[in-house]
Amino acid sequence: MFEEVASTEQGDLVINIGPQHPATHGVLHLVITLNGETVKKVEPHLGYIHRSIEKMCESLSYRQFIYVTSRMDYLSSHINNHGCAMLVEKALQIEIPSRAQYIRVIMDELTRLASHQLWWGAMAMDIGALTPFFLAFREREMITDIMEETCGARLTMNYMVPGGIMYDIHPDFCKKVKEFIKHFRSKIDEYDELLTGNIIFQNRMKGIGILSKEDAISYGCSGPTARASGVSCDVRKIYPYEIYDQLKFDEVLATEGDSFARYQVRLVEMHQSMNIIEQLIDNIPEGEIQAKTKAVLKLPKGEFYTRIETARGEFGIYVVSEGGTTPYRIKFRSPGFSNLSALDHIVRGHKIGDMVAIMGTLDLVIPDIDR
């Protein structure tokens, strides 16, 4: 049943963190009840960047609504777009050419790498280490440069269209990706040396913010947050899409469920993403990049649901169609929203300094939560 709502006693201190605060990585507002330095309760207040994307999408066509989702989880914008394109393809039963499938998967994994790199830097900054932030951005820059060359943008790529991808890859794409992988393989060891083995870092991470397997499932957590608690929930493995079922990679699992496990899962996932890219980059088949689709897309009457694994977890799109050119109702199940709901549970009883570290390992992106 419910945890007892902590009552405010005399001597308790209620403080606000955010909406503008560097540790919340965006406009998240937390109302925290403290007893001394111990957290008794955390109440998230959302909505500071709520744009009502779901309502907006009700008046956008099936070609347009894809690009609004870039503005939700802006670090996984490619994967969000991919999910939406897949939903339209699933509903209209469009087969997409294999060249497009390969490029989509490579782009997804590059996005995942870039997202995890930013998380690594930002999380280290939350606990007081500033150097990792600069190191992570140095390598992330290489990925954004590759993206910029092919997609024309660095953050909101808008590269996916129903039926395939918008343009073919840049002639230098494969060469640059291979260079990046080679470079990053040596740098990720540097990440390990700098932070993972550091005893001060380990003391702040191990045994802190434990999320049990049962709680992770009950709170609807997904992605690395849930996998660190031993929940097997990688959409790429369980419900494979595109060509993930032909690829060799492992679902990264840990059992401890603490901050350190969440940290390690993401770090190992970066290795896995590089493995996936290496399997594909030399074998991109020649051919079309887009299947033939009608200029105006009309989804058949009914309900459709697609899920896809973003860097943060399972992103779900639920569309109710009345047979028209726009969705009747659309719901985005964002991974951050469910992961945030577990925050109060795992932070209770910890010190306020640990709360910031725990939030860092949950890898929250606020526009993704607010939508």
Partner 1 sequence: MTREELQAALTELQSSLTFEEGGEWLNINAPAENFHELALKLRHTSGLDFDYLFCQTCVDWKTHLTMVYHLTSMTHRHNIVVKIKLDRNNPEVTTVCDIWRTAEFHEREVYELFGVNFLNHPDLRKLILPDDWIGYPLRKDYDDPVNMIKL
Name the site residues for partner 1 (rule: CB under 8 A).
1-2, 5, 45-47, 50, 52, 54-56, 59-60, 215, 217-220, 222, 231-233, 238, 302-305, 307, 314, 316, 318, 320, 328-329, 331, 333, 337-338, 340-341, 345, 370
Helix pair angle (131-151, 173-191), 10° resolution: 170
Closest CA to 370 of 47, 16, 41, 9: 47
DSSP 206-233: TTSS---HHHHHHTT--THHHHTTT---
Residue 267 Cβ vs partner 1, minimum distance, rounded to whole Å: 25
Residue 99 Cβ vs partner 1, minimum distance, rounded to whole Å: 27
Q: Which is nearer to partner 1, 31 or 281 (CB)?
A: 31
Q: Which is nearer to partner 1, 107 or 211 (CB)?
A: 211
Spatial CB neighbours of 344, under 8 Å, sequence gap ≥ 6:
41, 42, 43, 44
- Residue 31 has a CB neighbour count (10 Å cut-off) of 14
H/E element holding 360? helix 352-362
Q: Which is nearer to partner 1, 152 or 300 (CB)?
A: 300
Residue 65 Cβ vs partner 1, minimum distance, rounded to whole Å: 11
Query: Would you say 108 and 115 are in contact if contact means Cβ atoms under 8 Å apart?
Result: no
Cα 77 to Cα 66: distance, rounded to the nearest angstrom? 10
Q: Which is nearer to partner 1, 3 or 282 (CB)?
A: 3
Residue 332 Cβ vs partner 1, minimum distance, rounded to whole Å: 9
Cα 295 to Cα 25: distance, rounded to the nearest angstrom? 40
Residue 47 Cβ vs partner 1, minimum distance, rounded to whole Å: 4
* Structure tokens that stand for 230 in this block: 């031993």
Cα 56 to Cα 158: distance, rounded to the nearest angstrom? 18
Cα 46 to Cα 51: distance, rounded to the nearest angstrom? 12
Residue 72 sits at φ, ψ, to 5 deg, of: -85, -85
Q: Which is nearer to partner 1, 73 or 314 (CB)?
A: 314
Residue 293 Cβ vs partner 1, minimum distance, rounded to whole Å: 21
Q: Which is nearer to partner 1, 180 or 304 (CB)?
A: 304
Residue 319 Cβ vs partner 1, minimum distance, rounded to whole Å: 11
Residue 75 Cβ vs partner 1, minimum distance, rounded to whole Å: 21
Q: Which is nearer to partner 1, 70 or 290 (CB)?
A: 70
Q: Which is nearer to partner 1, 133 or 239 (CB)?
A: 239
H/E element holding 123? helix 98-126
Q: Helix %, strand %, coil % for the chain, to 5?
A: 50, 15, 35
